[in-house]
Amino acid sequence: MIPDYQTLMLPLLRLVADGQEHAARSLVEKLADEFHVTDDERRELLTSGVQPVFDNRVGWARTYLKKAGLLESPRRATVVISELGRQTLAKNPDRIDTKFLRQFPSFLEFQSPSRNVTELEEELTERNSNQTPTSVDPIFKSSSAHLPDRELKRVFLLLHQTLPKMQLSTSLKMKPK
């Protein structure tokens, strides 16, 4: 069974505990081995057909750990443990999940409904380049009710500009009848 992204958080943080830079791809491979993810499960795609479910969940775990300040990304698709991440591991937590991450101010800010549209746009752009959420993004669950109409229109415009690109790549994979 493919673990959920919260179950992957602590093992991911432990994998980078050596303080070295780690390529995101190598972390996906190591976690797949650690959790005995089968080849069939590794090939299972999101409903969008764009990304493997397991890769997506590792990506979300990585994103949440970065937003909490436990990981840093010195360059694209590379992570390293932060000092806060080291301190957290030194406390030997049984589990790291979103409830645990709420103790960190930067994670609370990430989840805050007051995040501005520019931050949302940057988040969408970053995620669109290498991740596809499996459900409604928690950013929008918590934020959309609090954003003024003007800002919501900007977010929807960004989505409108991004989705056709995704649909085009999906439609190219379809075979004509």
Question: What would the pLDDT profile of 67-103 be if each residue is shown by its tens digit?
Answer: 999 999 999 999 999 999 999 999 999 999 999 999 9
What's the mean per-residue pLDDT of the chain?
81
Q: How many C-beta atoms surround the C-beta of residue 121 within 10 A?
A: 16
Task: Show the beta-strand stretches assigned E in 45-176.
Answer: 71-75, 78-81
Strands 71-75 and 78-81: antiparallel
Give phi and psi for 76, each to the nearest 5. Answer: -55, 135
Residue 111 pLDDT level (bands cut at 50, 70, 90): confident
Q: What is the pLDDT of residues 133-177, one digit of tens each?
A: 444 444 444 444 444 555 666 666 666 656 655 554 444 454 454
**Contact yes or no for 68/106 (Cβ under 8 A):** yes
CB 146 within 8 A of CB 75: no
Query: Can you tell me the distance from the alpha carbon of 118 to that of 139, in angstroms, rounded to the nearest whole number?
Result: 13
Per-residue pLDDT at 11: 98
Residues 6 or more apart from 140 whose CB is under 8 A from it?
Answer: 155
Does residue 131 have a pLDDT over 50?
no
Look at 41 and 121; give whichever has higher pLDDT.
41
Between CA 40 and CA 50 the distance in angstroms is 16
CB of 152 closer than 8 Å to CB of 160: no
Domains, the chain, with CATH or none: 1-111 (1.10.10.10), 114-177 (no CATH)
